[in-house]
Amino acid sequence: MVEVHAPAPRPISASELIRDARTRAGLTQVELAARAGVTQSVISTYENGRREPSLTALQRLVRAAGFETTVDLLPACAPPPLQERVAAAREALVAAVRRNGGTRPRLVPVERRGRDPLRQREAVGLVVDLEPGAGIFTLMRIQDEAERLLGAEVEVLDGASVDPERCRTAVLL
């Protein structure tokens, strides 16, 4: 069985780091500013994300709150190829389609007209038949769940509105 990797955790912003260090230390903005040798407005500006501190300033503020920062380089783990992720998540994808009001999920090639090939993300096309009364919001829910499962862009299409020529190459999921 192929292991599906979750997307990398969201990087924390400098504003979140400063605010977290300050609140964990039980300090007000005024108190942190006094310890770091800056004004309260500087702390506020950084915490609100209106300005980004330099690495040196960030380290000084975090240290003034009683913490140390570490910066480390870790090798990036490349996820398995998209085809393997789809195979590994097949049952979960089918369940997501059914749970959200779709049936008969099929894979189709993704059309990429007019997009910069260097900026394209991995993508998969998914054609589904919709239950009566389902519509665009059903497609959006299926898309959101499929993208979380695969860590890739998913184009979800209503089988009733897809060009039959495109569906000829569809593969049942």
Q: Which domain holds residue 167?
A: 82-172
Regarding whether 10 and 72 lie in a shared domain, the answer is: yes
pLDDT-derived band at 71 (thresholds 50, 70, 90) equals: confident
Instruction: Provide the CATH number for the domain around residue 87.
Output: 3.30.460.10
Using a cut of 0.75, tell me whether the model's pTM lies above it.
no
Q: Are 100 and 141 in contact (CB under 8 A)?
A: yes
Which amino acid type is present at position 58?
A: L
68 and 89 in a single domain? The answer is no
Read off the CATH number of the domain in which 8 is found: 1.10.260.40
Number of domains comprising the chain: 2
Asked if 148 and 66 sit in the same domain, the reply is: no
No. of H helices and E strands in the chain?
8, 4
Question: What is the predicted pLDDT for the residue at 10?
Answer: 65
Predicted pLDDT at 2? 45
**Reported confidence tier of residue 3, pLDDT bands at 50, 70, 90:** very low
Contact 170, 139 (CB under 8 A): no
pLDDT surpasses 60 at 165 = yes
Mean pLDDT of 41-55: 94
Pair (90, 131) in one structural domain: yes
pLDDT at 115 over 70: no
At residue 114 the predicted structure's pLDDT band, cuts being 50, 70 and 90, is low
Distance between CA 60 and CA 18 in Å, rounded? 10
Inform me whether the pLDDT recorded for 45 exceeds 60: yes
Q: Are residues 91 and 127 in the same domain?
A: yes
Does one domain contain both 92 and 143? yes
In terms of domains, do 58 and 93 share one? no
Q: Do 71 and 93 belong together in one domain?
A: no
Where residue 8 falls among pLDDT bands split at 50, 70, 90? low
Same domain, 53 and 99: no
Examine the pLDDT at 48 and tell me if it is beyond 60. Answer: yes
Last residue of a domain, one of 78, 112, 138: 78
